[in-house]
């Protein structure tokens, strides 16, 4: 008699049905969901978000007090001396490009919007240096308009949770918009970012300390462990391959 076939792995519920319990667990873990960038108005948040590219929020927050004391309006930034602006934002990295984008962005604000930050995604993404990620940060935290911010953490966690297979940030955003209630877009983005920074790390996710481990299919996580096991150890003094 043939031996019985092994049990098939349990079938996952539709992604839409799995979002709510994950968000509830993350809400208990991170009850205060907000951007980590210190700001007093939409312009400051826009500038800080541009500076946050490939830089930590904490580092940006050490730079912006002096920056915002020196430049208070979009017109101030647009008319700034490039060398001085570069010096002020240098600790955030890629400072020449960031300073260039800030000046161009603020010049566009002055020219097209009277120096005010527009409150629509369609308008924000026309500004130099502003993509959908930056626009959604500004919309969600400056204008209380729901937006899904897809940074590296949100993209990674969305794939590990089995909510999407996409890697392109825009496609991840559009996929999440279909399964996450609109009123949760901003807060869930913040909580995924916090969880990605603290627990669901890129190379060594801390699944044993994860509050949503029982709700997560851990897509791709086993592959990470296998890669680490296959990686040869290098003796001290041995040249890199």
Q: Give the tens place of pLDDT for each residue, 41-89.
A: 999 999 999 999 999 999 999 999 999 999 999 999 999 999 999 999 9
- Angle, in degrees to the nearest 10, between helices 185-198 and 132-142: 110
> What pLDDT was estimated at residue 3?
46
pLDDT value at 189 more than 80: yes
pLDDT value at 1 more than 60: no
What average pLDDT does the segment 138-151 reach?
Answer: 96
CA distance 92 to 186: 25
CA distance 136 to 219: 26
CA distance 37 to 32: 14
Write b or e for each residue in 18-46: b if 16 or more Cβ atoms lie within 10 A of its Cβ, otherwise e.
bbeebbebbeeebeebebebbbeebbbbb
Whether domain 42-142 has CATH 1.10.340.30: the reply is yes
> Is residue 221 a contact partner of residue 205, using CB atoms and an 8 Å limit?
yes
Q: What is the pLDDT of residues 89-139, one digit of tens each?
A: 999 999 999 999 999 999 999 999 999 999 999 999 999 999 999 999 999
- 42-142 and 15-34+148-225 share a CATH fold: no
Give CA 85 to chain center in angstroms.
25
Given 98, 133, 141, 187, which residue is catalytic? 133
What contacts 72, CB < 8 A, 6 or more positions away? none
CA distance 15 to 7: 23
What contacts 36, CB < 8 A, 6 or more positions away? 57, 58, 61
The CATH class, in words, for 15-34+148-225 is mainly alpha
> What pLDDT was estimated at residue 223?
75
> What pLDDT was estimated at residue 6?
44
Of 187, 217, 225, give the one whose Cα is nearest residue 34.
187
In the residue annotation, 151 being an active-site residue is answered as yes
CA distances 64 to 38, 101, 113, 128, 136, Å, are 8, 16, 23, 20, 20
In the residue annotation, 27 being an active-site residue is answered as no
Given 100, 123, 151, 218, which residue is catalytic? 151
Q: Sketch the domain layout of the chain as residue ranges.
A: 15-34+148-225, 42-142
> What pLDDT was estimated at residue 11?
67
Please state the three-class secondary structure of 156-210 as a single string: HHHHHCCCCCCCCHHHHHHHHHHHCCHHHHHHHHHHHHHHHHHCCCCCCCCHHHC
| % the chain with pLDDT above 90 | 83
């Amino acid at each position: 008699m043939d031996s019985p076939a092994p049990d098939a792995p349990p079938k996952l519920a539709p992604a839409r049905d799995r979002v709510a319990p994950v968000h509830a667990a993350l809400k208990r873990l991170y009850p205060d969901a907000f951007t980590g960038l210190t700001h007093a108005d939409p312009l400051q948040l826009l500038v800080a978000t541009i500076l946050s590219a490939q830089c930590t929020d904490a580092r940006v927050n050490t730079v912006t007090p002096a920056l915002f004391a020196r430049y208070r309006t979009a017109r101030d930034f647009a008319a700034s001396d490039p060398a001085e602006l570069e010096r002020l934002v240098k600790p955030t990295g890629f400072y020449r490009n960031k300073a260039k984008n800030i000046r161009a962005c603020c010049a566009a604000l002055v020219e097209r919007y009277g120096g005010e930050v527009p409150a629509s995604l369609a308008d924000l993404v026309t500004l130099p240096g502003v993509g959908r990620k930056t626009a959604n940060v500004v919309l969600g935290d400056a204008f209380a308009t729901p937006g899904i911010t897809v940074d590296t953490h949100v993209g990674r966690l969305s794939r590990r949770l089995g909510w999407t297979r996409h890697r392109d940030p825009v496609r991840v955003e559009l996929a999440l918009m279909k399964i996450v209630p609109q009123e949760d877009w901003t807060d869930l983005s913040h909580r995924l970012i916090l969880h990605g920074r603290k627990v669901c790390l890129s190379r060594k996710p801390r699944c044993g300390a994860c509050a949503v481990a029982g709700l997560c299919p851990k897509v791709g996580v086993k592959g990470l462990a296998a890669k680490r096991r296959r990686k040869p150890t290098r003796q001290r003094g041995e040249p890199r391959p």
